[in-house]
Structure 1
Amino acid sequence: MSNIVFSNVSRSFRREGKNFLALDDITFSVQEKEFVAVVGPSGCGKTTCLRMAAGLEFVSNGSVAVGGKEVKAPGPERAVVFQQFALFPWKTVSENIRFGLRSLRVPRNEAEDRIRCNIRLMGLEGYESAYPHQLSGGMQQRVAIARAYVLNPTVLLMDEPFGALDAQTRTVMQEELLRVGRANPRTVMFITHAVEEAVYLADRVVVMTRRPGRIREIINIKSIRDAEGWQQYERIEDVMDLESFVHLRTQIWRLLREQNERVAN
């Protein structure tokens, strides 16, 4: 099992002598090999949720479990991809991808096979000896994703991985991630501010409220995608024109606008 389960999770911080409640009673799950996107206003605790699943932060109340085990620390079954590429500038593409395998003490021959497989998977052939500064932003993020995939994680935690990319590159990377996900499905928790991105990529979308972050609603995308046959379309612009896509996008936007208007009033 590689599911992620948040059970009545709250997270509070101590700030200037007072308790600051960031998350309040968060309960949702990401099923095995399901892609769940989390959206919400800035500061609602989306990234905090992801960091707790990664074992980089801890709950104040409740629990976070992965594969039936409570998360108490980072683990090799969970790989994280951040918005900033975080590549080593002095290492080549192959060396950056290899980095995590060394800590796992993967035998050299197996490591080389995994690296070649993931370079091919991410369309990085011919760039094995290139350095990060010689790559575009999209190529650098492909390296970062390959570095996560090469560890063979059962869970992929992605924190706005395309947020630093220009619009055209972002669209290409969304299509690539969907392609890679179909070829090598993983349990994915994906944080984003982009509603269209969430609807295009996710099986379900978790919509959070303003701070303290709570679950406002969970939208099932997969049932509509399957019923409408979105899989037949190769490009995101073809899907975005569908009435069902527009309806889902509008539904989520309205939920988010509700939060903004509540603050304004």
Structure 2
Amino acid sequence: MAIIRFEHVDRVFHQNGQDFTALKDINLEVKDREFVAIVGPSGCGKTTCMRMAAGLEHPTGGTVSVDGVVVRAPGPDRAVVFQQFALFPWKTVWDNVEFGLLSLGIAEAERRRRIEHYIGLMGLHGYERAYPHQLSGGMQQRVAIARAYVLDPKVLLMDEPFGALDAQTRVVMQEELVRLARQHPRTVLFITHAVEEAVYLADRIVVMSRRPGTLREILDVKSARQAERWDEIERIEDVMDQPTFVHLRTHVWKLLREQQAPGDTH
């Protein structure tokens, strides 16, 4: 069953008296508890797709729906994790994680149970009374992920959540997210610039064209993961040595190279 559905979605922006098309005829379904990563050239509309699923932007044409309901605004069925941690600097770790539960009117005993569970799961025990400025970037993103999961959302939307982290911390967080996804599976739409990250995390990878963004190709990763038993391999670097991982990574890179704009060196 499709949980997230884009149907003939266009997105046109109006700037400086001119219209420009960011997305054109996007058709995509994300199934229940499926992890889908979107990659593509800068400015192709990846984040715009995520924001429309979150209800933070609206399509110019077509519809975006979640669980059969057209998205018109943010809702508790969808949690968002951004690249820039988006924590309240004046609130402690505990209070940041609790914030969404308070807005939903969750009873105190249930709030405490959920918060303790996800603080433990994200390795935050002992930091409950710390403030964001006292934490490393990786620890802050652990708080942001705990805050998203504690809401028990149907859908998790992640916009380059590890993009601001150093390489070593990024790898650790990727491994943590895989572990968390196994224990608490959710429907995930994940935006990233990192090809290796997409192949490691996703069940399917959506490769977009340069602007106006269209769907260039959709690749199945889940079957490769199952065939080579990636889930039984402890370290991410060993997964990346698997033949199918190397093939998928190379294929995605070739697709992105083909979409590189003239004169674009990034």
> Which TM-score band (shorter chain)?
over 0.9
Residues 218-260 of structure 1: CA deviation (Å, up to 9, x unaligned): 0000011111111110110010111111000000000000011
Residues 131-151 of structure 1, C-alpha deviations (whole Å, 9 max, x = no match): 111111101000000011111
Does the residue aligned with 2:80 lie in a helix, a strand or coil? Answer: strand
TM-score by length of 1: 0.98
What CA distance in whole angstroms lies between the structure 2 residues aligned with 1:253 and 1:264?
Answer: 18
Per the TM alignment, residue 74 of structure 1 is displaced from its structure 2 partner at its CA by 0.6
Equivalent residue runs for 1:40-189 within 5 Å:
40-189=40-189
The SS at the match of 1:38 is strand
**What corresponds to 1:254 in structure 2?**
254
Q: Residue in 2 aligned with 1:34?
A: 34
1:222 aligns with 2:207: no
User: Where does residue 196 of structure 2 map in the other structure?
Assistant: 196
SS in 2 for 1:57: coil
Code of the residue aligned with 1:263 in structure 2: it is P
Cα distance in 1 between the residues matched to 2:262 and 2:8 = 25
Post-superposition CA distance 1:108-141 (Å, at most 9, x none): 1111111001101111111111111111110100
- Tell me: CA distance 1:129–1:2, structure 2 relative to 1, closer, same or farther (3 Å): farther
Which residues of structure 1 form unaligned runs of 5+?
none
Opposite residue 98 of structure 2, the aligned amino acid is R
Q: CA deviation at 1:264?
A: 4.2
CA distance, structure 1, for counterparts of residue 231 and residue 76 of structure 2: 31
Distance between the aligned counterparts of 1:263 and 1:223, measured in 2?
A: 35
Number of aligned residue pairs: 264
Q: Tell me, which stretches of 5 or more residues in structure 2 are unaligned?
A: none
**Equivalent pair of 1:100/1:147 in contact (CA under 8 Å):** yes
Using the alignment, how far apart are the partners of 2:205 and 2:263 within structure 1?
Answer: 25
Output the CA distance in 1 between the equivalents of 2:185 and 2:99: 23
Bigger shift: residues 185-194 or 125-134: 125-134
Q: How far, CA to CA, are the matches of 2:97 and 2:61 in structure 1?
A: 36
**Counterpart contact for 2:2–2:29, Cα < 8 Å:** no
Tell whether 2:5 aligns with 1:5.
Answer: yes
- TM normalised by structure 2 equals 0.97
The sequence identity of aligned pairs, in percent, is: 68
Classify the secondary structure of the residue corresponding to 2:170.
helix
The question of whether the paired residues in 2 share the 8 Å contact of 1:9 and 1:62 is answered with yes
Q: CA deviation at 1:22?
A: 0.5
Give how far 1:157 is off: 0.1
CA RMSD of aligned residues (A): 1.1
- SS at structure 2 position matched to 1:226: helix
Determine the C-alpha separation between the residues in 1 that align with 2:169 and 2:189: 21
Match status 1:14 vs 2:10: no
Which range moves more in the overlay, 139-148 or 122-131?
Answer: 122-131
1:2 deviates by 6.9
